């Protein structure tokens, strides 16, 4: 009896670690809506532990991953967690711009036979900056149909980087903004070393027009539960544009 109790306790701790639901976990998975889920990994930037949010979609034809973990130790644990939780394998991954917090796992997943995608512009920047590269290139804005689901990759223009795209799931009203959109309580637009500070505002306005009345706005490094994130980012980008005239 005692051994059975110990086995049960150990299994609970295993699941907790695998799904990353403890406070200091390296990987956290949260339900969004329907078959969409948010996963978060972490890395240290300028002395702070920073979350990096990604998303995945579960279909009968496999799981679609949007961006890769930032933490290199979590490439395989994410796949294992998805497999255990949904009994499905990741078959496809799309990265939304060339920075490492979006692309770091592309080569790892490509070697496992997962179809990896970026835009051609992102691939050029990955090559130029010695970042991981995808196997397949997206030519222009593209609608993907996976099982009963569809989503569109959309390039609104330069902002956080010259190549940043967003992903829009129109039926579910999910705007996956990546690093282009900042948090609802953000006081600035974050790292601007590769940004276009004069075009950022018009780029975000195009996103707003493309994705009317989103129910969910998923952003990379802040709380994704507040849909005021896009409005706040537009306000910040407008100030930035005036400052840099």
Concatenated DSSP letters of the chain: -HHHHHHHHHHHHHHHHHHT-STT-SEEEEEEETTEEEEEEEEEETTEEEEEEEEEEEETTEEEEES--SSGGGHHHHHHHHHHHHS--EEEEE--SSSHHHHTTHHHHHHTT-EEEEEHHHHHHHHHTT----SEEE-SSEEEEETTEEEEEE---SSSSSS--EEEETTTTEEEEETSS--TT-SS----TT--TTTHHHHHHHHHHHS-S-SEEEESSS-SS-TTHHHHHHHHHHHHHHHT-
Domain-embedded: residue 16: no
pTM, rounded to two decimals = 0.89
Say how many domains are in the chain: 1
- CATH number of the domain residue 126 falls in: 3.60.15.10
With respect to residue 173, please indicate whether it lies within any of the assigned structural domains: yes
Q: Is residue 231 part of a domain?
A: yes
Tens of pLDDT, residue by residue over 4-63, are 333 333 333 334 444 445 557 899 999 999 999 999 999 887 777 888 999 999 999 999
In a domain, 221, yes or no: yes
Domain containing residue 108: 23-243
In a domain, 13, yes or no: no
* Domain assignment of residue 46, yes or no: yes
Residue 6: inside a domain: no
The predicted-structure confidence for 161-185, as pLDDT tens digits, reads as follows 999 999 999 999 999 999 999 999 9
């Amino acid at each position: 009896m005692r051994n059975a109790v110990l086995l049960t306790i150990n299994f609970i701790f295993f699941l907790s670690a695998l799904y990353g639901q403890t406070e200091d976990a390296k990987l956290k998975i949260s339900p969004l809506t329907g078959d969409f889920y948010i996963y978060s990994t972490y890395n240290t930037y300028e002395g702070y532990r920073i979350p990096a949010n990604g998303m995945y979609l579960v279909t009968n034809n496999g799981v679609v991953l949007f961006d890769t973990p930032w933490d290199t130790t979590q490439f395989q644990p994410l796949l294992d967690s998805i497999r255990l939780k949904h009994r499905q394998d990741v078959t496809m991954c799309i990265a939304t711009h060339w920075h490492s917090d979006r692309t770091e796992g592309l080569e790892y997943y490509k070697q496992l036979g997962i179809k990896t995608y970026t835009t051609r512009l992102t691939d050029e920047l990955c090559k130029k900056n010695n970042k991981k590269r995808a196997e397949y290139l997206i030519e222009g804005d593209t609608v993907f149909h996976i099982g009963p689901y569809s989503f569109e990759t959309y390039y609104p223009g330069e902002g956080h980087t010259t190549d940043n795209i967003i992903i829009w799931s129109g039926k579910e009203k999910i705007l996956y903004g990546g690093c282009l959109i900042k948090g609802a309580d953000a006081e600035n637009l974050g790292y601007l070393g590769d940004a276009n500070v004069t075009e950022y505002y018009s780029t975000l306005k195009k996103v707003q027009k493309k994705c009317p009345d989103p129910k969910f706005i998923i952003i990379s490094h802040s709380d994704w539960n507040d849909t005021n994130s896009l409005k706040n980012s537009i306000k910040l980008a407008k100030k930035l544009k005036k400052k840099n005239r």
